[in-house]
Amino acid sequence: MLGTKAATAIGPESWRNSTLKGIKLSNTIVNKSDKSCDVGRSLDPLPHLRDTVSQLSNDEIHRYTREVRAVVAKLRESLLETNEEIKSLTRGKEAIEKALEHTRKDIRLNKDSQEVRMSRPPREKGHDGADDLLNAEKAHLINCKKALEAQLRSVQQQLLVLDAARKRLFAVLQERSRVLDLLNHSLSSITNVNSAMSNMSSSGMRRSKSVQDGRYSRMNYSNLPDPLGPFTPEADQALADADDARARSAYLRRELREAIDRTDKLQKAAHKSVNDGLTQKLSETVTLKQHLGVSFGENRHGMHRAQRWYDATDKARSYTLGPVASSDLSTRERLDRPMVRVFQRHPGTQLPEAQEIIRGGDGLLQSLTATSRNIGLLRLTQLKLRNDIKSKSAAAGIDGSIIRMRRSKSNHRWTLGEAF
């Protein structure tokens, strides 16, 4: 047939081939255009691309700011906890300073007690158990003072560490809060900040998947620090430093409480021990003073008896010696009285009357000398007892004043006169 048509065609073949070639080219271009339209229907963005991109940007901004808000909430919570820890540690510092002040006052009170005891009479200045108790109390108080001062230095250093951690948290908080000006500060939904957002199911969102997978890819919040994410390494380090500082501060506060309790118990025990020792020494002094009083009375009674005996012996010796003048002798007192002269007419009739009188006078003189010596010894003993009683009274008064002073100052409601 074609052969028939070709045979019967009137136009030239080149002219016909050129036309057929144009038709074929047109069909090819039409098919390519249809395929391009099909590809465009599936890939080309819709006319609302600007709105879609704007919405995606807003969603990304909203997501990022919510995650930053969660980080800011964590930083703020850590900052508040750090502030509370600083307050607690500051109260602990004040407590240890108060305990240190009480220890210094106790050391001053111990020193004053020792100085007051130095004013005792020489007879009572011998080293005794009360001095040992005061020296032991001083040693314990000095050790407590050194321990409390070391604790105070640790607290001061820890406060500096906490202050540095707080400043760092505040700086990071300020830096992270710069993107939260347009977001409310309600924290009711922060716990759900890591939950997935609603799925985008529209066809426009599916066609914009390439854009989402690019600049607007979702970056879920995690605990891993990201220099370009909400939770930066600086924020992580600031939180870690603050946590470490708070943990160290809590441990230090426990040590402070234990040190203060231990020091308080030791101070009270030492104070009570010294007071009990001084009270016992005062009781012993008063008891000895009472015995000295009894002995003083017995000594005075014995001295009076010895004096009466001395007077009686002296009078007896006077009687034995006889009158001072010979003219006062009566006839019966003379050694040459008539009876004796008659008796002595026989030989060997010497009477021992004169020797006995002389011997009796010598015996009475010896008795007077012994009695006088005893009276002198009694007077010396009486003087010693009187001085001892006076010393015991002074020592008892001094120890009593020390006990009253220590009891009046045991509440530490007094001030040191100078730096100690």
Residue 124: give its domain's CATH number: 1.20.1260
Q: Across 22-31, 197-206, 288-297, 310-319, which has the greatest mean pLDDT?
A: 288-297
Is the pLDDT at 197 greater than 90, yes or no?
A: no
Residue 288 lies in a domain: no
> For residue range 89-130, what is the model confidence (pLDDT) as tens digits?
999 999 999 999 999 999 999 999 999 999 988 888 888 899
Residue 90: domain span: 50-186+223-278
**Model pTM score:** 0.70
Q: What DSSP letter does each residue of 337-357 carry, written as one string?
A: -HHHHHHTTSTT---SHHHHH
Is the pLDDT at 199 greater than 50, yes or no?
A: no
Residue 229 lies in a domain: yes
Residue 271 lies in a domain: yes
Q: What is the number of other CB atoms lying within 10 angstroms of the CB of residue 92?
A: 23
Give residue for tokens 């012996």.
Answer: 313
CB 278 within 8 A of CB 130: yes
Burial of 402 (0-12, 13-18, 19+ CB in 10 A): buried
* pLDDT score at 37: 84
Rounded mean pLDDT of 376-385?
92
Q: What is the number of other CB atoms lying within 10 angstroms of the CB of residue 271?
A: 20
Rounded mean pLDDT of 304-325?
82
Residue 108 lies in a domain: yes
Q: Calculate the average pLDDT of the chain.
A: 82
CB 411 within 8 A of CB 109: no
Query: Which one is predicted more confidently, 372 or 224?
Result: 372
> For residue range 274-293, what is the model confidence (pLDDT) as tens digits?
999 999 999 999 999 999 99
Number of domains in the chain: 1
> For residue range 200-244, what is the model confidence (pLDDT) as tens digits?
333 333 333 333 343 333 334 456 888 888 888 999 999 999 999
CA angle 71, 72, 77 (to 5 degrees): 100
Residue 341 lies in a domain: no
Dihedral-angle region of residue 322 (phi above 0 means left; psi in -120 to 50 means alpha; beta otherwise)? left
- Residue of 408, 59, 380, 377 lying closest to 212 (CA atoms): 59
Dihedral-angle region of residue 12 (phi above 0 means left; psi in -120 to 50 means alpha; beta otherwise)? beta
Is the pLDDT at 190 greater than 60, yes or no?
A: no
Residue 162 lies in a domain: yes
Residue 316 lies in a domain: no
Residue 343 lies in a domain: no
CA dist., res. 84 & res. 279, Å (int):
47
